Amino acid sequence: MHTKLEIPKKSIYRLSIYQRCLDRLRENEIETVSSEALAKAAGVKPTQLRKDLAYFGQFGTRGLGYNVGLLADTIGDVLGRNHLQPVILVGAGNLGAALLHYGGFNKEGFEILAAFDRSPERVAHVATTSQIPIKLDTEFPEFIQKNGVKMAILAVPVPFAQQVATALVEAGILAILNFSPTILEVPAHVQVNAVDLAVELENLSYFIR
Amino acid sequence: MHTKLEIPKKSIYRLSIYQRCLDRLRENEIETVSSEALAKAAGVKPTQLRKDLAYFGQFGTRGLGYNVGLLADTIGDVLGRNHLQPVILVGAGNLGAALLHYGGFNKEGFEILAAFDRSPERVAHVATTSQIPIKLDTEFPEFIQKNGVKMAILAVPVPFAQQVATALVEAGILAILNFSPTILEVPAHVQVNAVDLAVELENLSYFIR
DNA sequence: AATTGTGAATTGATTCACAGCT
DNA sequence: AGCTGTGAATCAATTCACAATT
């Protein structure tokens, strides 16, 4: 009997980065890449790349390197990224609306199906500038269930973040990308990644003396 | 003679989070907080909070806890956040323009002085919807020097990211918040924090089976 | 000859456990 | 009595070094 191998969160994270690098190699029709070259592109050490991959199996050819297409597909499978993943966005204020207009998610295999906000005025207003449908918060439980949505982007003001997160989880959401600068309490089966833009900037400012 | 104490990057990062929590306590006129309570709000263990603070000195009172205002000021000093920090933004495409409209940075002690883009059309277009002045890329070296800007937010397309980063560094920028999904090569004295929205989402999708 | 895959060694971060103040 | 500050212990991640493979 073997112990359930514990894969570090950071390895998973780097897998996404490797895949992006592989995508670029593929665009340039490069078929083979060594751990050294790929690691360089991803900003890590070659041994780390190899260790990360080792959690999932053996994909390289000794003496040769990795097949770009094969490795990209494998990582895509691991990350569950080989099929389009539907996402909703909750909170269409400054940042939320900004993320709606930012098209970058679609290219990477995610589709924002709809956005939600608690304010009818904002729903009406944002609706005029976005192709993505925007609805009232009250509608998201039904929407999530009907469309089998598992991922949500949360960009509501701090005082509402926890209650909205709880409602999302109740409606069946399993993963939240949280832009609200606060710690969310969620059940263990729900995964939260936080992006805190102000903290990123603030953290940088330490390093400039 | 003592060795230069090496402070983990992660501790610095958490310092920013602690400070945000302290700000909220201050707003609620709470004067004292224990490591346990503050750690809970920040989503870490109390011992970790204490270890993080220990890198910079002793700020608590045994038996009592920390003085909220004092600790906030101290962390603010450490992070260099007690004075307004000027920032420029380079790249006013989808995401760049979005970040411009997002006001969240100002509240946290950062001021986006100006934005820059390489396309004259975009400069003209974004100028109509933003109060922040937007100029051509070619003008940033002079602007950086004149205004003593040390931090830049980079949101240009991947093919330009490296060359723009290099130019920013040459002009005197010391810290870059990089939204372009690529690894930047910069001299050791320059600090880069990367925010890769697609990677964050992709990483989440691993955890939903 | 080149390059992967991996156990062992190392380095780093977190947590424990308790001494030291107030 | 309560809570911080910190050396020691543990746990986790990274890197080394080299055997295995093409």
Q: Give the DSSP letter string of A114-167.
A: EEEES-HHHHHHHHTT-SS-EEEGGGHHHHHHHHT--EEEE---HHHHHHHHHH
Q: Hey, is B85 helix, strand or coil? A: strand
**Among chain A residues, CA nearest to B95:** A102
Residue A1 has pLDDT above 70, yes or no: no
pLDDT of residue A5: 65
What is the CATH architecture of A9-79? Answer: Orthogonal Bundle (1.10)
Decide whether A9-79 matches A85-200 in CATH topology. no
pTM (predicted TM-score): 0.93
CB-nearest partner of A150 from B150, B151, B208:
B208
Quick check: A87 and B201 CB within 8 A? Answer: yes
The tens digit of pLDDT for each residue in B51-82 reads 999 999 999 999 999 999 999 999 999 998 88
Lookup: nucleotide whose C1' is closest to B6 CA: C12
User: How many angstroms separate the CA of A164 from the C1' of C1?
Assistant: 59
Q: Provide, as residue numbers in chain B, all residues whose Cβ is less than 8 Å from the Cβ of A111.
A: none
Q: Which two tokens stand for residue A28?
A: 């340039």
The tens digit of pLDDT for each residue in A135-186 reads 999 999 999 999 999 999 999 999 999 999 999 999 999 999 999 999 999 9
Q: Hey, is A53 helix, strand or coil? A: helix
Q: Hey, is B133 helix, strand or coil? A: coil
A101: confidence class by pLDDT, cuts 50, 70, 90: confident
B36: confidence class by pLDDT, cuts 50, 70, 90: very high
The tens digit of pLDDT for each residue in B169-206 reads 999 999 999 999 999 999 999 999 999 998 999 999 99
Distance between CA B195 and CA B181 in Å, rounded?
A: 8
How many angstroms away from the CA of A96 is the closest CA of chain B?
Answer: 9
Q: Phi and psi of B4, rounded to 5°?
A: -65, 115
How many angstroms away from the CA of A162 is the closest CA of chain B?
Answer: 12
Distance between CA A188 and CA A174 in Å, rounded?
A: 10
Chain centroid, CA A109 distance in Å:
10
pLDDT of residue A4: 52
Q: Hey, is B75 helix, strand or coil? A: helix
The tens digit of pLDDT for each residue in A8-37 reads 999 999 999 999 999 999 999 999 999 999
Distance between CA B105 and CA B113 in Å, rounded?
A: 11
Summarize the confidence of residues B22-42 as an average pLDDT.
97
Sign of the torsion formed by the C-alpha atoms of A119, A121, A126 and A132: positive
Residue B3 has pLDDT above 90, yes or no: no
The tens digit of pLDDT for each residue in B89-140 reads 999 998 898 889 888 888 788 999 999 999 999 999 999 988 999 999 999 9
The tens digit of pLDDT for each residue in B12-21 reads 999 999 999 9
How many angstroms away from the CA of A46 is the closest CA of chain B?
Answer: 15
pLDDT of residue B110: 92
Q: B75-104: buried (b, 16+ CB within 10 Å) or exposed (e) per residue? A: bbebbbbeeebbbbbbbbbebbbbbbbbeb
pLDDT of residue B4: 52
User: How many angstroms separate the CA of A52 from the C1' of C14?
Assistant: 22
Q: Provide, as residue numbers in chain A, all residues whose Cβ is less than 8 Å from the Cβ of B174.
A: 207-208
The tens digit of pLDDT for each residue in A48-64 reads 999 999 999 999 999 99
Which one of B28, B153, B206, B209 makes the best mutation probe of the A interface by having the most chain A beta carbons within 10 Å? B206
Q: Which residue is nearest to nucleotide C2 (CA to C1')?
A: A63
Domain range summary for chain A, segments of one domain joined by +: 9-79, 85-200
Return the CATH number of the domain spanning residue range B85-200.
3.40.50.720
How large is the C-alpha radius of gyration of chain A? 20
Q: Provide, as residue numbers in chain A, all residues whose Cβ is less than 8 Å from the Cβ of B105.
A: 197-198, 201
B24: confidence class by pLDDT, cuts 50, 70, 90: very high
Burial class (CB in 10 A: 0-12, 13-18, 19+), B50: middle
User: How many angstroms separate the CA of B179 from the C1' of D16?
Assistant: 33
Mode of pairing for the β-strands spanning A65-67 and A85-90:
unpaired
CB A21 within 8 A of CB B158: no
